[in-house]
Structure 1
Amino acid sequence: MEKYYLRHHRSQDDGINIVFDQNFQAVYLVAGRLGKKDDQLTVQSMSGEVLVRLRQLSYGLIPRFEISSPTETVASLNFHLGYFGDLIFVHQLNWMISGNFLTNHYVTYHLTKRLLSVKPELRPDGLYNQLTVLESNDDLPIHIAIAALLDLWSLKTNKINLALQRPFVPLNSYYNNFFEESNRG
């Protein structure tokens, strides 16, 4: 079991994110942006070699993404509208990602085998997503690309939810103000 740390996107200002191993040594770079059609997010080795490219195929309520290595398309995924249980299926790899994406608590499965679990962790220098790889495999850059995508998606969704929220006014204070005004007149 290995642990990696991906800094929360809302904790950084530039578009580059560094992935650290459990000894906090830099092992991967995540660069790029998403939000519009054909935007890309790349996972690179520290030498700059592109290992995985995540490209946005469509935008809107149900965006679709394609994951590719330098030589071939590896998988695709899309978000589903109307299902709030947070479940994503990664096509071609037969992975299922389940959990709460808004709080970055989720697990990736292949059939019944757990491949990866993600949870937030507060470190002295900021908030990170802790990626726990349960079995060592060659798919770590793909896991990192998906984790970066879900982190960006949770940031966007949380901003929308915050914008839609109204300030909380206790019902008692509303009625007290109403009755005070009616007793005056």
Structure 2
Amino acid sequence: MEKIQTKLINFIIFLSISLNLNSYESNTSEIIVDISEQRLYLLEKDIIIESFPISSSKYGEGSIVNSFKTPLGRHIIKEKIGSNVALNSIFVARINTEVKAEIISTLVDSEDDYVTSRILWLDGQEDGINRGEGVDSYSRYIYIHGTHEEGLIGKKASHGCIRMFNEDVIKLYDMVYKGTNVYIKA
């Protein structure tokens, strides 16, 4: 009986250490979205380890609800949605439809605004700027996500979210954690 208790205690200690390491890793990474450059930078301990082209809102920058603008300021990744979902899969209300989007590689702004491949749902961290009544990024469903309009990446074309190439958003998704800091600047 004593051996079983010792093994159980050792397992709990191991699990606790593992979970603490994962939360430590999440605190050393951060994302900077530079709208003027239409780029997203992933930093690890203040060193850029990845850089991706993005597409921010075609309506500009702002936080007002129903403005379709990209919010500025400090955010965190509140939720990660789409682990192991197939490349180019379309999400509706954050649910995988299991339908694959037809990728548009030319400069075409279609009538659709598909959310594809992965979702990193952002939560604003600044009261009155991107958190709270009328300006809340999380309530506005502001994501970093894949798009079927890959031909528009690098240009302002979204309806408020940060769009990425599908392969890039999958790569980023696998490198970040819930709680990762995201700073969006003009």
Question: Normalising by the residue count of structure 2, what TM-score does the alignment of the two structures yield?
Answer: 0.26
Higher relative contact order (CA 8 A, sep 6+): 2
Pick the structure with more strand per residue.
1
User: Bigger radius of gyration, 1 or 2?
Assistant: 1
